[in-house]
Amino acid sequence: MSEKIETLLEALPYIKKFAGSIFVIKYGGAAMEEAHLKKEFAKDVALLKYVGINPVIVHGGGPMIGRLLKDLNIPTRFIDGLRVTDEKTLEVVEMVLAGLVNKEIVKNINDMGGRAIGLSGKDGRLLTAKQVENKEVGLVGDITGVNVDIIKDISKHGYIPVIAPIADGSDGKSYNINADTAAGNIAQALSAEKFILLTDVEGVIGSDGKLISMLRKREIEELVEQKIVTGGMIPKVSCCIDALKGGVQEAHIVDGRVPHAILLEVFTDSGIGTEIIGDE
């Protein structure tokens, strides 16, 4: 039994270090699909809050959106990884993200003893956006503003904000925002201590095929230039670099398929994914 206590005490330096910090967590992938991973994620988030950290969750919902579009016989296609979004599609996106996925996450966290409040970017004009450069994709937006007051207020009162990446356009329309980008933008606006990207890969893989545990911003930029980091990892890495440039202290790409991935990354020395920090 005393081994358990030792474990508890091993967490103490990390608890101390992060007391009062803001962690913006992009939640998605397997961790949001598989029942047991969902529960474990909710538990992790509740624990973070109880030990004095302020987690802010930003979630996607791709697969569920695809499913409902299919059920409704609405065809869908992607350009450069962005879903082409007309008004009908956006309505589905919003229903799934803000109505279904968001509230399920909220409920899971509440069931684990946390106190979560779900918000879409429309609530209190939390997120404002303009259309992305490529107009062909339709109602897909780039974030132009984050109303951090609401997030801070909710966090200060003991709640965990859970955010669906729908934004208010200055043109009166609504926009679908890529969840990774939204999370990165929110982390910047909050000057978060950590920006954690939950994904379905192990992390950044080096030229030797092995996971890289820690990298400086400069190093990851080189890996991209050298085409060692490629494909779907590039936008994720970009989000991290942007967040670091914007004042976030540490970005993490973590494997959401591993149970309790967040706690493992936060409360152990080596972590399990890739940590990216600033250039000195």
Cβ distance 160 to 55 under 8 Å?
yes
User: How many helices and strands, by DSSP H and E, does the chain display?
Assistant: 11, 14
Q: In what order do the strands lie in the sheet with 174-176?
A: 141-146, 127-131, 166-169, 174-176
At which residue do the structure tokens 């400069």 appear?
218
* Residue placing its CB nearer to a second copy in the complex, 72 or 79: 72
275 lies in the binding site for a second copy (CB under 8 A): no
10 lies in the binding site for a second copy (CB under 8 A): yes
Residue 214: beta bridge partners? 275
Q: How far is the CB of 51 from a second copy (least distance, A)?
A: 6
* Residue placing its CB nearer to a second copy in the complex, 65 or 201: 65
Kind and range of the H or E run holding 54: strand 54-59
Contact string (CB under 8 A) for a second copy, positions 228-247, x = contact: --------------------
39 lies in the binding site for a second copy (CB under 8 A): no
Cβ distance 162 to 110 under 8 Å?
no
Residues in the chain, how many?
Answer: 280
Closest of 274, 275, 264 to residue 11, by C-alpha: 264
Return the structure tokens found at 124: 């209190």
Residue 153: beta bridge partners? none
> Which residue of 21, 30, 51, 84 would you call a contact of a second copy, by CB under 8 A?
51
> Which residue of 153, 171, 200, 222 would you call a contact of a second copy, by CB under 8 A?
153
Closest of 159, 188, 39, 162 to residue 97, by C-alpha: 162
Return the structure tokens found at 218: 């400069």
* Residue placing its CB nearer to a second copy in the complex, 149 or 222: 149
Contact string (CB under 8 A) for a second copy, positions 89-108, x = contact: --x--xxxxxxx-xx--xx-
37 lies in the binding site for a second copy (CB under 8 A): no
Q: How many residues bind a second copy (CB under 8 A)?
A: 68
Residues that bind a second copy (CB under 8 A): 1-13, 15-16, 19, 43-44, 46-47, 50-52, 68, 71-72, 91, 94-100, 102-103, 106-107, 110-113, 115-120, 122-125, 150, 153, 157, 159, 166, 168, 172, 174, 258-260, 263-264, 267-268, 272
